[in-house]
């Protein structure tokens, strides 16, 4: 079920997305850039993170997204959580996955 007020955020490396795909409609925000994209004072700030949305972070197994969620909460992001078990759990549950091409990530 699609909810426009919830943003799934894939924090995995670009190579992981190319190799295994991603959750349809997810926003790719590489872990190494996440804090810069969320910080409104950063020159790399992405406006999506300034909107009143709920963010659900995920990585492959849930470890990186757990730590990233804690960091974003410390930074003051209001509604952020992580997908327990990550992308692996999503796939094991038989939920949809879409392929991702590098061009889509670089230009998207």
User: How many angstroms separate the CA atoms of 75 and 105, rounded?
Assistant: 26
Which residues are within 8 A (CB) of 96 and not within 5 positions of it... i.e. 6 or more apart? Answer: 23, 24
Verdict on whether the full-model pTM lies above 0.85: yes
pLDDT digits (tens, 9 = 90+) for 30-81: 999 999 999 999 999 999 999 999 999 999 999 999 999 999 999 999 899 9
- Which residue from 82, 90, 66, 73 is spatially nearest to 38, judged by alpha carbons? 73
Structure tokens at 99: 């392929």
Domains of the chain by start residue, with CATH = 6-107 (3.40.250.10)
Q: Would you tell me how many other CB atoms lie within 10 Å of the CB of residue 43?
A: 6
């Amino acid at each position: 079920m699609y909810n426009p007020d919830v943003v799934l955020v894939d924090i995995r490396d670009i190579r992981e997305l190319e190799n295994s795909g991603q959750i349809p409609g997810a926003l790719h925000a590489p872990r190494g850039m996440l804090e810069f994209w969320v910080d409104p004072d950063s020159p790399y700030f992405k406006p999506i993170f300034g909107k009143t949305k709920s963010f659900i972070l995920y990585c492959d197994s849930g470890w990186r997204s757990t730590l990233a969620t804690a960091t974003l909460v410390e930074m003051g992001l209001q509604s952020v959580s992580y997908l327990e078990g990550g992308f692996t759990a999503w796939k094991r549950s038989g939920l949809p996955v879409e392929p991702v091409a590098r061009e889509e990530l670089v230009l998207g």
